[in-house]
Structure 1
Amino acid sequence: MTGARSLLESLVVPIADRLAWVLPPTTDENLVQWATFHGWDGAVDRQVVARQAALNLVLRALICYRLDADELPTSIPTHFILAHSNSLLQNLGISPQPFSYLDRFAVRVGVALHKSQIAALTRALQCERRDVIGDAYTSWVPQDARRTLGQFWTPWPIAQLMTWWAIQSSDDCVLDPAFGSGVFLLTAIDRLTYLGVSAETVSRQVAGVELSPLVFLMGLTNILLRYVPHTQLRLQWGDFLMPKQEPGAVLRESPVVYVTGTRQMSLPGMKISGPTAFSEQFDAIVCNPPYTRHHHLPEAYKSTWATVMNQEYGVRLSRFSSLFAYFFVQANRMLASTGRMAFVTPTTVFEASYSSQVKAFIRRQLRLRAIISFDKALSVFEGVDTAACITLIEGPETPAKDRVIHIQIREWPGVEQVLQAVEQGGTITAGWGSSCALDPSTLEPHRKWTVIGYENNRFDNEHFVPLSSLARVMRGIATGANDFFVLSDDEVTKWELERTNLRPVLTKTREVPGYAFTQADFDRLGHAGKKRWLLYLMGPVIPGTSEARYIQYGEARGLHKRSLVRTRSLWYMMEQRDPAPIYFTYLSRRRSRFIYNQTDVLALNVFLCIYPRPTISQDETTLKALLAVLNSLVAKDSLRYVGRTYGGDTIKVEPREMDRLPVLNPLELASGDRERLAELFDQLCCTDSEEAEKIVRQAINEAIAAIIGVP
């Protein structure tokens, strides 16, 4: 821990401890609103709120000291810090000034800070190159509590890469639509200063927006620690997508459409327009936007921006799009026709089927210059569970080029080498990574743009066929209420349910640690008290039976009103599935596996069900040979090309994507080759460590290479 971090904690933690004692009950209306604003679904963590409030107070004190140290008393009371910081923010041109529940809460305690402490902390923070304030915040506030508002910071080298590419001229005006702890604004100031812009005028060329009042103060403080503006700052506290709304109001509103700051119904023929945070367009836009998932988004966002995209661009945005898509469209509306835009982008934008409209939008409205991807072993964005890349884009009136560059980075080489690879635009193979040039015409919306240049014709290899030619793929059973429809042995006994109405079922991928699932494994789940029985009703229950009483219990809980079960003719009638010979861990970190089901167990929708053709499934050697091929390192690599990747080496593959997986056809192999692969699969099932798995998987790879004649 650095000296600056120690000083910051020595101020924040004691104040937070005092605040925690007087925090109101979790039913307090203001506290509930603060929790709702952050998307906290569970119980409010009192210590987190107390530390947020303490940090908020210290940040305001730092702003006071940095802008008007002479006016500060030796002992600075809370009410003075709040009032004076608001006055200083107004002088900077920041309106409205960020305020929150944290301000009101701190006043109730009435703590005072010493001017000497704030002075020492200011000096220590100014000596730091890293974002001490942002790092402290992420250590005090758990990842889940930061997810809804997308509070994950960009490392300085990545921000520098993006701003140095985007800003080309000393005349450029720069925007960060979600400036967070301020790293893009600081690197933009550095870049403009390098290009010759004076300290007196640089603040006129940099603009930013931030929704969280606390994070706004974090970013502003980081800027003021390194740069005192000579003119008013162009920073807005508010919602980049709904700038005319009160900050945070949209997150509490009902499903309506917003237009220029007023609530309004969407009527036939009415043109809906999304207002922008600034009236002018920008030469450079750099951003690491929040990736808030679609089911956490207010209906106002979806309604307004789906309409804007359709009316302005003729593109129908998928309802499954994350907040990134809306930020991206809004930023495009503010980009100059010859400007540059650099976005940290979830890899799923280029890989998921529901993002085809975003790719169509890029092709139609912009000029894609480069995609920069990172190896799964290179942890660039700490704590983020979504794989990310960098997208470099130019406005529609920039000269067209005959190539798009895709760079894959295995080891960070420094900003200059990456920029050089982008500008050279050719094929590069180096120790730090590689790049390839893509023909823009191949970037069709239905394709996975991040893998096109590295497919190596595997989908056209004569030895491989798509899995769909060998097997049928379906998702596992979606019950609509797992805690009700899946029962433990004790629950079955308690409700006296008939075994004829139950089916054995797998509910979690961790219940299958290996590559085969046996009857002994199923018995183990029972001994551990796990839920392992699926209520499998295929018709109306008979009144007076145990099953009828259990269904009444579910209805008393309101389960029959849930969206999925309401679509069934009988809400409790289960989807029909046969036990699959092979299950795939549909979404799993690192150890994605194709599992040999040696029992009659069914599986929920955390698995994919794979039903090979009878000529495969009815011959154990051929089935095991297919399982060996599916679990090879070759197949694992191919999964990235048909599915989509997330952070932590997580792969997600939908059924129709799995259909395209290229696999070696076991039916075309010589009997000796099939037997060798089957034997290797048996060895894989017996491994007891990751290292042993790798050795066997490598042996499977070598066997496949020998079969197809690859040295």
Structure 2
Amino acid sequence: MVSENETIRRHEQDAFDSTHSQEERNEHGQFATPYDLARAMAEDLQSRVPSDSHVLEPSCGTGSFISALSALSDSFTITGVEKDSSLSETAQRLWANDSCNIVNADFFDYASSESEQFDAIISNPPYSRHHHLSQSEKRFYSQLAVSFSGVSLSGLAGLHAYFLLVGTGMLKTGGIGSWLIPSELFSVNYGEPIRKFLTQKVTLERIHFFDPENLQFDDALVTSCVTVIKREKPGDGARAVFTYGDFRSPRKTISIPLRELAALPKWQHLENYEERENHSGRVLGDYFKAKRGIATGGNSFFIKTRDEWHNEGIADEWLSPILPAPRSFHLSEVTSDASGWPQESDIALLNIPRTASYANLPTPVRKYLDGCPEKIRGSYILRHRSPWYSIGNTKSAPIVCTYMSRSDSTPFRFIRNKSDATITNAYLGLYPQTSMSEEELDSMCNMLNNIPSDVLINGGREYGGGLKKLEPRELMSLPLTSSPS
């Protein structure tokens, strides 16, 4: 049973959410923690800290964590910090008393002037993306992060990363921090300094990954994890516990020595870490380079069927074959006619060489270019491309990878391309490091399509709603069970 104040808090939270647009809440990262999860995290924190701990909630909102802590014990002393005045007002009205102080302030301003250290932190920091932060804010947050943790973050880091580093620096030695943060922090490049911090400067006690279909927040498209940190340097035998599924009753628990964890570039998919089989030691990058397909700046303008181009009066001289979008193309092999065009597709790209003078182009081509819609003509890519109508290099790739998917059984497909067709940036192209025969390329493509789905998924990253993605560097790191024959 929840308290009367908790019932009021939920009503106030719903009212706040209904009067603020999705765009506003995304910009400010204002997604309240569901009470059941707040309660589970509070119970876990309670098991790790003294009963009379002073707990900091650095972004308390209406007070979901404060409500959960108060329901568990009246021995905690709580300080809640909230920047938004209306949310702070609600928290003040519901929770402020002799053992709970609500501060209406920006957390970073508060941290820069507060000298007290805390026994514990529990937080769902704002999930604001880096492009919502001004350059002056980034400089201020970055200076504080270095001051409190010694860690310098990339400009691509979101607000939650700064919260974690500064907040951890406000803990007493041996203090515990429990953080609800986006799980992508443990796969993306900008998270590397934090992963190093968690294995070398503090002790990573537990990371709990929720299943991708369980977003925790109905309206935030991120998968979440709970990260529990102790502010003390790790001992020689320190291990981190990784749990999966339900926070209270995980479906799987594994323990990884921090020294081994520190050597792993990604932590988001380690469920089968203890059962991993040895492979040949070779990775795809030993044989190939990966490149994104071309960004036309306006597929609807630059890509049509050959018949449609011919109806415009534009001859094949100004066209190149290109593969259809992955969602409408499901073949595993593309064969070629005598001229290099795919036999399975008649999609073509308007491919005007950069050396071709506009004045010397055929009349139908110039007429078509003159009719380019302003929305496309004014796009970033076309405004910064010279000449705007020339796509540039369109070299075909002998193996093509679909690098985004929501499928668990076939997350990424590898297509053997035996034609001259190029690809858009909806694909990744694989180009051999050294000369390969057609038979070797066939063998390699077959090998790639036989990589277990869990290995492919674990090699990439996963977002809210089960979206899986494999970036070029991640693709190059895929392990191979054997060498191409």
Q: TM-score range by the shorter chain?
A: 0.7 to 0.9
Alignment of 1:276-425 (within 5 A): 276=113, 278-310=114-146, 314-396=150-232, 400=235, 402-410=237-245, 412=246, 415=248
| 1:207 and 2:66 aligned | no
CA 1:441 to 1:578, structure 2 compared with 1: closer, same or farther past 3 Å?
A: same
CA 1:602 to 1:179, structure 2 compared with 1: closer, same or farther past 3 Å?
A: farther
| Greater mean alpha carbon deviation, residues 280-289 or residues 439-448 | 439-448
| 1:150 and 2:17 aligned | no
Deviation (angstroms), 1:392: 0.5
Kindly provide the amino acid, as one letter, of the partner of residue 237 in structure 1.
N
Hey, what does 2:279 align to over in structure 1?
461
Hey, what does 2:438 align to over in structure 1?
618
Hey, what does 1:604 align to over in structure 2?
424
> Does the aligned pair in 1 maintain the 2:216–2:223 contact within 8 Å?
no
Show CA shifts across 1:341-396 (max 9, x none): 01112222222223211222334432211111223355544343222211110113
**Separation in 1, partners of 2:322, 2:397:** 11
CA 1:540 to 1:161, structure 2 compared with 1: closer, same or farther past 3 Å?
A: same
Hey, what does 1:190 align to over in structure 2?
71
> Does the aligned pair in 2 maintain the 1:310–1:316 contact within 8 Å?
yes
Deviation (angstroms), 1:285: 1.0
**Separation in 1, partners of 2:100, 2:271:** 43
Kindly provide the amino acid, as one letter, of the partner of residue 643 in structure 1.
G
> Does the aligned pair in 2 maintain the 1:477–1:605 contact within 8 Å?
yes
Kindly provide the amino acid, as one letter, of the partner of residue 583 in structure 1.
V
**Separation in 1, partners of 2:90, 2:370:** 53
Kindly provide the amino acid, as one letter, of the partner of residue 594 in structure 1.
R
CA 1:408 to 1:338, structure 2 compared with 1: closer, same or farther past 3 Å?
A: closer
Show CA shifts across 1:430-480 (max 9, x none): xx4222222222232762234457335757324x7422234332222234x
TM-score under structure 1 length normalisation = 0.57
Larger Rg: 1
**Separation in 1, partners of 2:382, 2:57:** 40
**Separation in 1, partners of 2:115, 2:312:** 65
Deviation (angstroms), 1:134: 3.9
**Separation in 1, partners of 2:215, 2:222:** 11
> Does the aligned pair in 1 maintain the 2:178–2:228 contact within 8 Å?
yes
**Separation in 2, partners of 1:495, 1:306:** 55
Secondary structure class of the residue paired with 1:543: helix
CA 1:308 to 1:468, structure 2 compared with 1: closer, same or farther past 3 Å?
A: same
CA 1:405 to 1:362, structure 2 compared with 1: closer, same or farther past 3 Å?
A: closer
CA 1:184 to 1:312, structure 2 compared with 1: closer, same or farther past 3 Å?
A: closer
Deviation (angstroms), 1:601: 3.2
Deviation (angstroms), 1:337: 2.5
**Alignment root-mean-square deviation, CA:** 4.1
Kindly provide the amino acid, as one letter, of the partner of residue 609 in structure 1.
G
Show CA shifts across 1:376-431 (max 9, x none): 3555443432222111101137x747232332323x2x63x5xxxxxxxxxxxxxx
Secondary structure class of the residue paired with 1:648: helix
Show CA shifts across 1:314-359 (max 9, x none): 5431122122212212212322223110111222222222321122
Which of the residues 104, 113, 127 maps onto 1:237? 104
| 1:478 and 2:295 aligned | yes
**Separation in 2, partners of 1:497, 1:578:** 21
Hey, what does 1:77 align to over in structure 2?
none
**Separation in 2, partners of 1:541, 1:389:** 55
> Does the aligned pair in 2 maintain the 1:406–1:436 contact within 8 Å?
yes
| Greater mean alpha carbon deviation, residues 499-508 or residues 489-498 | 489-498
**Separation in 1, partners of 2:330, 2:27:** 32
Show CA shifts across 1:180-236 (max 9, x none): 34211111222332xxx2xxxx6xx22223334454456556xx2xx5x44495323
Alignment of 1:8-19 (within 5 A): none
Secondary structure class of the residue paired with 2:190: helix
Kindly provide the amino acid, as one letter, of the partner of residue 235 in structure 1.
I
Deviation (angstroms), 1:139: 7.2
Alignment of 1:416-565 (within 5 A): 432-444=250-262, 447-451=265-269, 454-456=272-274, 458=276, 460-462=278-280, 465-479=282-296, 481-482=297-298, 486-488=302-304, 499-505=316-322, 508-512=325-329, 515=332, 522-523=345-346, 533-543=349-359, 545=361, 562=380
| 1:165 and 2:44 aligned | yes
> Does the aligned pair in 1 maintain the 2:83–2:105 contact within 8 Å?
yes
Secondary structure class of the residue paired with 1:291: coil
**Separation in 1, partners of 2:8, 2:284:** 51
> Does the aligned pair in 1 maintain the 2:80–2:100 contact within 8 Å?
no
**Separation in 2, partners of 1:485, 1:321:** 35
CA 1:456 to 1:333, structure 2 compared with 1: closer, same or farther past 3 Å?
A: closer
TM-score under structure 2 length normalisation = 0.80
**Separation in 2, partners of 1:215, 1:392:** 26
Structure 1: runs of 5 or more not aligned: 1-122, 244-273, 418-431, 527-531, 669-711
Structure 2: runs of 5 or more not aligned: 336-341
Hey, what does 1:176 align to over in structure 2?
57
Secondary structure class of the residue paired with 1:603: coil
Kindly provide the amino acid, as one letter, of the partner of residue 180 in structure 1.
G
CA 1:505 to 1:401, structure 2 compared with 1: closer, same or farther past 3 Å?
A: same
Kindly provide the amino acid, as one letter, of the partner of residue 131 in structure 2.
H
Show CA shifts across 1:248-281 (max 9, x none): xxxxxxxxxxxxxxxxxxxxxxxxxx835x4422
CA 1:285 to 1:516, structure 2 compared with 1: closer, same or farther past 3 Å?
A: farther
CA 1:187 to 1:391, structure 2 compared with 1: closer, same or farther past 3 Å?
A: same
CA 1:557 to 1:130, structure 2 compared with 1: closer, same or farther past 3 Å?
A: closer
Deviation (angstroms), 1:543: 2.5
**Separation in 2, partners of 1:183, 1:573:** 55
**Separation in 2, partners of 1:549, 1:361:** 59
**Separation in 1, partners of 2:151, 2:301:** 40
> Does the aligned pair in 2 maintain the 1:541–1:548 contact within 8 Å?
no
Percentage identity across aligned positions? Answer: 27
> Does the aligned pair in 2 maintain the 1:539–1:573 contact within 8 Å?
no
Kindly provide the amino acid, as one letter, of the partner of residue 658 in structure 1.
L
More helix, by proportion: 1
Alignment of 1:685-700 (within 5 A): none
> Does the aligned pair in 2 maintain the 1:211–1:240 contact within 8 Å?
yes
Kindly provide the amino acid, as one letter, of the partner of residue 262 in structure 2.
E
Hey, what does 2:339 align to over in structure 1?
none
| Greater mean alpha carbon deviation, residues 284-293 or residues 494-503 | 494-503
Secondary structure class of the residue paired with 1:320: coil
Kindly provide the amino acid, as one letter, of the partner of residue 275 in structure 1.
S
Higher relative contact order, chain-length normalized (CA < 8 Å, sep 6+): 2
Kindly provide the amino acid, as one letter, of the partner of residue 449 in structure 1.
W
Kindly provide the amino acid, as one letter, of the partner of residue 182 in structure 1.
G
| 1:275 and 2:154 aligned | no
**Separation in 2, partners of 1:536, 1:455:** 50
